[in-house]
Structure 1
Amino acid sequence: MPQLQLPIFPDSCSLITPHLGFQRVDDRVVYFNGHLPVFSHACDDLASFRLFTSQLVNNGSVTQAQIARAFGVPLITVKRMCVRLRDEGSAGFFKPRPPTRGHKLTPDLIAQAQAMLDAGAAVPAISSALGVLQTTLHKAITAGRLKKTVLRVL
């Protein structure tokens, strides 16, 4: 005859449902089913958090609203993560974001800015001459779209 498992949780455990809870232990978050730990991840590991909570929702163990309430996450974020799990699988949570392309620096402006950089002009001067923000030029230099030449004086 099967025995009923009592929902006994460790002290200071926060409940998601009457049978699922979580607790922060040092720098980790541990999830419990009753008194048994079922999963853990680092406190700052957002991808693992999103993956596991989305799996709980997609498996029918919890509702999206229960996750949103238990963790203080916006409901729309929980919904988006569930869709990501369905569409991309677990790898979708761990792939890097695609790099964004600048809209202000057209190929023509990049050529002009590179010519001015090669001539030894400073970024603020290039910014005012081309009508582009200095931060945009610095981002392009950091990303490698522009090459800043260093003039050495001997």
Structure 2
Amino acid sequence: MNSFKMFMAQLFVTGNATQSEINKVFGLNPINMKRWSKRYREGGPGVFYQREIKRTPRVMTPEVIDTAQALLDEAHTGKEVAEKLGLKANTLYKAIREGKLRQNNDLKKK
């Protein structure tokens, strides 16, 4: 897929085809062509083959997860844990849904 993106951007940037011609022939979204062309102009063909930088968690760091799990294990509610740790309740519940945290089964029934 990266080769395809690079080649489409290269066709446009070098003037061998217009954006509308490429979009029509390949059924592409015009905004994608604009993004690919911008990437090509700024970084050249190699930019399509660089590894993407993985984002690290900003709020739910390993330390926060450990602390939250300890509080949940002590039978605190999710709302109480969120307040104690200064988190949004939705952030905590998302971590529970994703399996990063386990909620006490007794509290789920209430």
TM-score above 0.5, yes or no: yes
The aligned residue for residue 24 of structure 2 is 69
Does the 8 Å contact 2:11/2:17 carry over to 1? yes
Give the Cα separation in 2 of the matches to 1:57 and 1:87: 14
Alpha-carbon offset, residue 64 of structure 1: 0.9
2:69 maps to a residue whose letter is: L
Does the 8 Å contact 2:72/2:78 carry over to 1? no
Give the Cα separation in 2 of the matches to 1:71 and 1:140: 40
The aligned residue for residue 33 of structure 1 is none
Q: Does 1:78 align with 2:30?
A: no
After TM superposition, where is structure 1 displaced by more than 6 Å over at least 4 residues in a row? none
1 or 2, which has the higher strand percentage? 1
**Change in CA separation of 1:52 and 1:127 when aligned onto 2, cut-off 3 Å:** farther
**Change in CA separation of 1:135 and 1:64 when aligned onto 2, cut-off 3 Å:** same
Does the 8 Å contact 2:40/2:47 carry over to 1? yes
The aligned residue for residue 134 of structure 1 is 93
In structure 1, list runs of 5 or more residues that go unmatched: 1-45, 149-154
Alpha-carbon offset, residue 126 of structure 1: 6.5
Task: Give aligned pairs, total.
Answer: 93
Structure possessing the higher radius of gyration over alpha carbons: 1
Greater RCO (Cα-Cα under 8 Å, separation 6 or more): 2
Give the Cα separation in 2 of the matches to 1:84 and 1:62: 17
Q: RMSD over aligned Cα, in angstroms?
A: 3.3
The aligned residue for residue 7 of structure 2 is 52
1 or 2, which has the higher helix percentage? 2
Give the Cα separation in 2 of the matches to 1:113 and 1:100: 17
TM-score (norm 2): 0.61
TM-score (norm 1): 0.46
The percent identity for this pair of structures is 22
3-state secondary structure, aligned to 2:28: coil
Q: Does 1:115 align with 2:67?
A: yes
